[in-house]
Each structure stands twice: as C-alpha cells, then as structure tokens.
C-alpha cells in the first residue's frame, strides 16, 4: 500500500516532456499500458514519472476530495477506473478472490499469454491459493450473479475489509458520498457484479453520478479497452511493490 503522504510526491524532473500530474489516466489495452505506467518509460526512454496503479481505497479518497486537486476529484468521480485489486476466479472450485496489489498484475505486458477468447490472465491452482485477499464461496458468488446488490452485510464487508483496507470511517464516508451524489441508498448502490470467466482481471470501480452508482465488476478484458490511473511515486516504491528491479526504474 502506498503511504497517503507519498501520493502527492513526484520524482525529480528528468526532461521537460514529463507529465507533472500526480494522477494520470491511461486509456487503452491494459497489457499495453501496464509497464509504461509503472516504469514511466517508452522504448527504454524516460517520458514520465514512475507510477503505481491506483487502489480502490485511494480512489475513494480522491473522490472524497482528500487529495487537494479539485480537477482530479471531479474527473475520478465521473469515470470508471480499473484498480490495483485483482479479481481471480478459480476454475476448479468456482470461488472468487479479491486480491489487492497481486504481484501477477504487474507482470502484464503486450506479450502476456491470456485465456483464449476470454481476455483473462491464466492463473494456476497454486497461484490462486497463494494469492491473498477476500474470498467468496461459489454459492456467495452465484448469489451476486443473480443480484449484485444482495447479501448486504457481506457486500459491506467486502467494501470495508478489502476495498477500503479495513478503514471503517473511510467506508462510511464513501457510502455517504455515493448515496448523496446518486440519490440511492447502499441497498441500490456499490453492487458486486461477478464475471463468469475464469482467470485474473482487474477490479473496475464505476463512477459516481446519477447514472453510475460505483458498482464494481471485472468484465474489462486485459486485451480490451480499460482505464488505468497511475499515481506518481518514487521508483523505490514501485520496485518494492512490484518486484521490478530498481535499476530498470531509474
């Protein structure tokens, strides 16, 4: 997890072409943009700051106006965002796991082999077991498939314990924020939409307005169009969180 005090910190300017935004969107194929987002390099040349993929928690903080950037707060409320939480469906058991900052996310690149016709990263049973996170049973997942707004207490737990990383007050504030902007209560917002596809994809958090109620899903194919948001951080942070050697980041 990137420390909150580090979110507003950018690296030293290397060239005049480097984008100075702390929050930068990347719209396109996830497998094409992941390494570009993390390293800030194109063809080995520095063109941007090193960045870390925004988490659901930090997305919520941004939407609540806790980042001292009104334009970014407005923008991030208005769009869906693919986040740093992996959504993994186990092909053998039908269980689904929400896995924050899963290291497998940061291996994505244009040559990544995906499940044919599914746009998901192939995950072995061993990788699924080793992935930490909040797990839904097959039965719980199937109930959410039938009704994404069902199992209210379980849904609240997923949001607080996993997406908000145990921050109760942030969960309360964000639910209130969504209810206020959309005009709907929690029973009709922040639904958990389940994918029927096996493998790994990214947790997508919907926007917040009268037409979108911050529902989450994992239907954006990694080889299809998505929206990543990179948060400018120091190379050392990216190296620790992703396993990318520091020398490739500086």
Query: What's the rounded Cα separation, in Å, for the pair 138 and 123?
Result: 17
Predicted confidence at residue 6, as pLDDT, reads: 42
- Provide mean pLDDT across the span 101-130: 93
pLDDT at position 124 over 50:
yes
Predicted confidence at residue 222, as pLDDT, reads: 95
Please indicate whether residue 59 or residue 1 has the higher confidence score (pLDDT): 59
Predicted confidence at residue 17, as pLDDT, reads: 63
pLDDT tens digit string along 135-172?
Answer: 999 999 999 999 999 999 999 999 999 999 999 999 99
pLDDT tens digit string along 201-211?
Answer: 999 999 998 78
Percent of the chain with pLDDT over 70: 93
Tokens (6 digits) for 155: 């849904």
Contacts of 39 (CB under 8 A, 6+ apart): 50, 238, 244, 248, 249
pLDDT class of 103 with cuts at 50, 70, 90: very high
Q: Which of 23-32, 98-107, 217-226 has the lowest mean pLDDT?
A: 217-226
Predicted confidence at residue 219, as pLDDT, reads: 86
The alpha carbon of 42 is separated from its chain's Cα centroid by a whole number of angstroms, namely 23
């Amino acid at each position: 997890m990137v420390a909150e005090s580090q979110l507003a910190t950018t690296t030293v300017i290397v060239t005049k072409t480097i984008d100075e935004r702390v929050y930068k969107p990347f719209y396109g194929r996830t497998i094409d943009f992941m390494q570009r987002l993390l390293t800030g390099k194109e063809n080995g040349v520095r063109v941007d700051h090193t960045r870390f993929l925004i988490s659901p928690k930090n997305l919520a903080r941004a939407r609540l106006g806790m980042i001292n950037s009104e334009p970014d707060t407005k923008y991030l409320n208005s769009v869906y965002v693919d986040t740093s939480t992996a959504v993994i469906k186990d092909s053998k058991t039908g269980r689904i796991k929400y896995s924050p900052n899963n290291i497998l996310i940061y291996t994505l690149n244009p040559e990544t082999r995906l499940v044919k016709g599914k746009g998901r990263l192939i995950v072995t049973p061993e990788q699924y077991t080793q992935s930490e996170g909040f797990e839904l049973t097959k039965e719980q997942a199937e109930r959410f498939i039938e009704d994404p707004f069902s199992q209210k207490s379980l849904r609240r737990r997923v949001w607080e314990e996993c997406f908000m990383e145990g921050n109760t007050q942030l969960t309360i504030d964000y639910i209130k924020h969504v209810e206020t902007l959309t005009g709907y209560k929690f029973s009709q917002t922040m639904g958990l939409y389940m994918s029927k596809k096996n493998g790994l994809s990214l947790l997508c958090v919907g926007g917040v307005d009268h037409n979108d109620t911050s529902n989450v899903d994992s239907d954006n194919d990694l080889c299809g169009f998505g929206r990543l948001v990179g948060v400018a951080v120091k190379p050392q942070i990216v190296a620790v969180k992703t396993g990318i050697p520091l020398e490739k980041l500086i």
